[in-house]
């Protein structure tokens, strides 16, 4: 039986890696993938605690998180396509058209 | 059970590191699929059969194919963004410091919650499709309906954003 603290530690490390990807990578596609990584670490925690307390609520909520993540990816990729249409090469640190 | 956890956790971590370190976005997608597969195995080890199947179908299947399409459409022949000069100086140490602080906070909060009294053996059928479906469509039917609305708004938004011809 694996203790739940192991799952908590793994999810924390995955979340940190995803956050580092968001902060460090300059390609918008890789940044979106890092955000997916963070969603998934949260999902892992939800499923782990759902198992811990013998309640389905965590799994249902993880499922809803997946749906929202899918919607976010659709919108995010549409925005990426729009930005790529306007510029040749996209560097996130370089995109400041919206700054006032 | 412990061996399964260790192997799956190592594969998931390797995939996450691969996402960060890959030069080409395509390699990031492949590493991310590896990570998602390992997470599906972890869901299975947590009595989340339905979640494991959905993880493979939605994430490793649909969403990653979407990423591959966009990469093939837009950036397959471009140099990666990281090859240019760095506009913001010193982001690597700043990100490392920020993530270290966040990691300490997360580990502290999470591990404190992890030592609550556990229910060691879930009921038979826990996490299966039947039990999960009952929970989703009977107990939590209102959030379920709301997600349908969220998905519809997202699809309409994507159509408005990308679908215009002469914007």
Compute the average pLDDT of residues B102-112. 85
Residue A26 scores a pLDDT above 90: no
Element (H, E) at B4: helix B2-21
Banded model confidence at residue B23, pLDDT cuts 50, 70, 90: confident
Q: How high is the pLDDT of residue B165?
A: 62
Q: What is the pTM of this model?
A: 0.89
- Which range among A72-76, A84-88, B49-53 shows the weakest confidence by mean pLDDT? A84-88
Contacts of A96 in chain B (CB under 8 A): none
Tell me if A91 and B35 make a contact (CB, 8 A cut-off).
no
Residue spans of alpha helices (H) in B55-162: 64-74, 91-114, 129-134, 141-162
Q: How high is the pLDDT of residue B116?
A: 67
Top-ranked range on mean pLDDT: pick from A71-75, A96-100, B127-131: A71-75
Measured distance CA(B27)–CA(A49) in Å, rounded: 32
Contacts of A19 in chain B (CB under 8 A): 98-99, 102
Look up tokens 């590896």; give the residue: B34
Among B39, B44, B90, most A C-beta atoms within 10 A, so best to mutate, is B39
Compute the average pLDDT of residues B112-141. 80
Among A6, A44, A49, most B C-beta atoms within 10 A, so best to mutate, is A44
Contacts of B51 in chain A (CB under 8 A): 43, 47, 59, 62-63
Look up tokens 């990031």; give the residue: B28
Banded model confidence at residue A66, pLDDT cuts 50, 70, 90: very high
Helices (H) and strands (E) in chain A, counts: 3, 0
Banded model confidence at residue A100, pLDDT cuts 50, 70, 90: low
Q: How high is the pLDDT of residue B151?
A: 93
């Amino acid at each position: 039986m694996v203790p739940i603290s192991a799952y908590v530690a793994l999810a924390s490390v995955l979340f940190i890696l995803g956050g580092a990807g968001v902060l460090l990578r300059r390609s918008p596609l890789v940044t979106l993938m890092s955000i997916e990584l963070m969603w998934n670490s949260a999902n892992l925690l939800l499923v782990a605690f759902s198992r811990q307390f013998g309640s389905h609520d965590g799994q249902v909520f993880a499922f809803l998180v997946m749906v929202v993540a899918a919607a976010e990816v659709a919108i995010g990729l549409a925005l990426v396509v729009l930005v790529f249409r306007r510029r040749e090469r996209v560097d996130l640190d370089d995109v400041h058209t919206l700054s006032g | 059970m412990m061996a399964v956890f260790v192997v799956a956790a190592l594969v998931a971590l390797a995939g996450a590191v691969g996402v960060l370190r890959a030069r080409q976005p395509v390699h990031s997608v492949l590493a991310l699929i590896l990570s998602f597969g390992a997470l599906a195995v972890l869901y299975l080890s947590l009595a989340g059969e339905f979640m494991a199947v959905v993880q493979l179908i939605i994430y490793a299947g649909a969403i990653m194919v979407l990423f591959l399409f966009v990469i093939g459409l837009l950036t397959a022949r471009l140099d990666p963004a990281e090859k240019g000069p760095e506009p913001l100086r010193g982001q690597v140490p700043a990100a490392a410091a920020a993530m270290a602080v966040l990691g300490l906070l997360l580990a502290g909060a999470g591990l404190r919650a992890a030592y609550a009294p556990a229910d060691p053996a879930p009921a038979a059928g826990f996490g299966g499709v039947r039990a999960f479906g009952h929970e989703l469509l009977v107990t939590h039917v209102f959030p379920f309906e709301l997600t349908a609305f969220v998905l519809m708004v997202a699809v309409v938004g994507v159509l408005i954003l990308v679908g215009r011809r002469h914007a």
